[in-house]
Amino acid sequence: MEILGIDIGGSALKGAPVDLDRGELLAERVRLETPQPAKPKAVAEVFAQVAEAFDWKGPIGVGFPGIMRRNVTRSAANLHPSWIGRDLGELFGSVSGCPVEIVNDADAAGLAEIAYGAGRDRSGSVLLLTLGTGIGSALFIDGHLYPNSEFGHLQFKKTIAEKYASSAARKEFGLGWSQWGDRLNEFLVHLNRIFSPDLIIIGGGASSKFEKFSPQVDCGVEVVPAQLRNNAGIIGAALAGMESKD
C-alpha cells in the first residue's frame, strides 16, 4: 500500500510517498520551508505544493505539531494560535483534492518506530521523544498509542521541559553536546520517575547525533536512538493516512 506522508514542522514541511508494506520512502522527500508567520492559509499553500510535487491523487497522512482530536487542532504551540479549532482534514483536503488524516507529529514518529524501527516487537511501555524546535512525545503500552501526550510541555526547572532540553534550547544557550546531554538526562530521569517506561527512543533531528550526547544519558532506563531518523514523521504520518481510506 502506498500513501503520501507529510510532516509539518515549525521550520519545514517534508513529504514523500511511503510503501507501508516495508516502511520505506518510495521517492526522495520534498522539503519546503514553513512560511512565517505559520498561519493556516499560508501553510496550506505549501502543503499543496508538496502534494503537487508527486502529482498525488490518493490518501494523505499528516503529522501536525499540536494536539489533534478527530482532525481538529486543539493546540499549536510552535506555529500560530489561529490553528486552534481548525478542521485540518477539511483544510488540507480542500487544497490537495485528496482524503487527508491528521495525527500529532510526535505520535506519527512513534507509530513508525513501533511498526518498523527501534520499538518493533517491544512489549511494555515505550516512550519516544522527538527533539527539535520543541520536545514531542509518544507513549505506547504494548504497542497501543496513548495520543497527544505532549510531555515536552511539562513544568520543569522553573520553565517547561522543551525550553530547557530541546535541540532549540541547546542552540539558544550555546551548549556543547555534553552539557546539553546533562540537561536532557535530567529530564529523562524526571520522566522515569513519573512514568517508568521500559524503553525510551530518542527521535527528531538529534537522533542522528546520538553518540555525541549518549555518554551523559544515565536515567535508569534503556535509551536508544530512533532507527528511522528524520523519516519517521513522514512514515508514521502515512500510517495514519490509512484511516482516510475508510
Tens digit of each residue's pLDDT, the chain (246 residues):
999 999 998 889 999 999 999 999 999 999 999 999 999 999 999 999 999 999 999 999 999 999 999 999 999 877 889 999 999 999 999 999 999 999 999 999 999 999 999 999 999 999 999 998 899 999 999 999 999 999 999 999 999 999 999 999 999 999 999 999 999 999 999 999 999 999 999 998 899 999 999 999 999 999 999 999 889 999 999 999 887 554
Instruction: Tell me the C-alpha to C-alpha distance, in Å, between residue 227 and each of 62, 76, 116, 202, 237.
Output: 20, 27, 8, 9, 16
- Taking domain 122-227, whether its CATH number is 3.20.20.140 is answered by no
List CB contacts of 64: < 8 A, sequence separation 6 or more: 8, 73, 88, 102, 103, 104, 105
Instruction: Decide if 2-107+232-245 and 122-227 have a common fold.
Output: yes
pLDDT tens per residue across span 140-161: 999 999 999 999 999 999 999 9
Q: Please report the pLDDT score of residue 78 as a whole number.
A: 74
List CB contacts of 224: < 8 A, sequence separation 6 or more: 118, 199, 200, 201, 202
> Contact 20/238 with Cβ under 8 angstroms?
yes
Domain ranges in the chain? Answer: 2-107+232-245, 122-227
Q: Please report the pLDDT score of residue 229 as a whole number.
A: 86
Cα gap 44→86, rounded to integer Å: 12
Cα gap 77→73, rounded to integer Å: 11
Q: What's the CATH number for 2-107+232-245? A: 3.30.420.40
